[in-house]
Amino acid sequence: MFEVEGTGRRTRVLVVDDHRTFTDLVCMAIAAEEGLECLGAAHDAEGARAMTDQLRPDIVIMDVRLGNDDGLSLTRELVQRHPLLRVVVLTAEPGPSVLRSAAAAGASALLPKDGAFEDLREVLVGPPGDGLVVAPALLRTLVLDTSGGAAPVERPALTPQEERVIRLLAAGRDVRAISHDLNISVHTCRGYVKSLLHKLHAHSQLEAVAVARAAGIVP
């Protein structure tokens, strides 16, 4: 859960990465944020399983490459064992295969490992959403990778506002930026994104953009 105003309930985060300096820095940054609590760090799959079972974090930050272990396979395992758990996947090598694997594993978000902490913080403090959230920094690159050979598909029936939202998503804008551009609330914008995922039969914003491109909605 994210913090509920007045309750003092903080979002509890576990960091899973085999680079100790990286985990130390991320834990320090999380501990400095109001509403967040870092439970510590695990450096391999065995430690991640044990700490997740024992500490029951709200969110796990998971590196794709975890030494000799596969962070995406571990993500799938942890989500199956703890259905309410949110897993934020960090990758240094973004690509369509990582996107598909992260979505299939049940990850909540996919972010670049070398991205700004502010982007990670926004995911950590935000409410749980539907589908896979992909960082805007990755979105444009991944769309080009995934849509180049896509076959044309039937154009779905979108409202004018939904078309504006999907085009802004394709341009790499995030929900907060889109809500500002269209002069609507963030909550309303998230509603449009949820509707787009349903109408485009997509599991993530990236997949929705790829479908929209194939359907000719996004130039």
Give the model's pLDDT for residue 37: 93
| 137 vs 29, more confident | 29
Instruction: Give the per-residue pLDDT at 112.
Output: 86
Residue identified by tokens 């509920």 is: 4
Architecture of domain 142-214: Orthogonal Bundle (1.10)
Please give the pLDDT value at position 82. Answer: 93
pLDDT at 154: 65
Superfamily of domain 11-128: Response regulator (3.40.50.2300)
Report the sign of the C-alpha dihedral through residues 50, 32, 115, 110, in that order.
Answer: positive
Least trusted range by pLDDT, from 13-17, 109-113, 138-142, 153-157: 138-142
- Token pair 């930050």 is found at 61
Looking up tokens 């998971």 gives 62
Per-residue model confidence (pLDDT) at position 142: 61
Chain segment 84-117, per-residue pLDDT in tens = 999 999 988 777 778 778 888 889 888 888 888 8
Pick from 105-114, 143-152, 165-174: least confident: 143-152
Bridge pairing between strands 36-42 and 65-66: unpaired
> Does residue 189 register a pLDDT over 80?
yes
Dihedral sign computed on CA atoms, order 17, 18, 22, 23: positive
Say if 11-128 and 142-214 have the same CATH topology. no
Write out the DSSP string of 56-97: --SEEEEESEETTEEHHHHHHHHHHHSTT-EEEEEESS--HH
Q: Where are the domains of the chain?
A: 11-128, 142-214
Q: What is the mean pLDDT of residues 137-162?
A: 65
CA-CA distance, 43 to 45, in Å (whole number)? Answer: 7
pLDDT value for 173: 82
Residue 150: which pLDDT band, with cuts at 50, 70 and 90?
very low
- Residue 104 vs residue 7, higher pLDDT: 104
Percent of the chain with pLDDT over 70: 86
Query: How does DSSP classify residue 13?
Result: E
The secondary structure of residue 9, as a DSSP letter, is -
What pLDDT is attached to residue 129?
66
Distance of CA 176 to the CA centre of its chain: 15
Q: How confident is the model at residue 41 (pLDDT cuts 50, 70, 90)?
A: very high
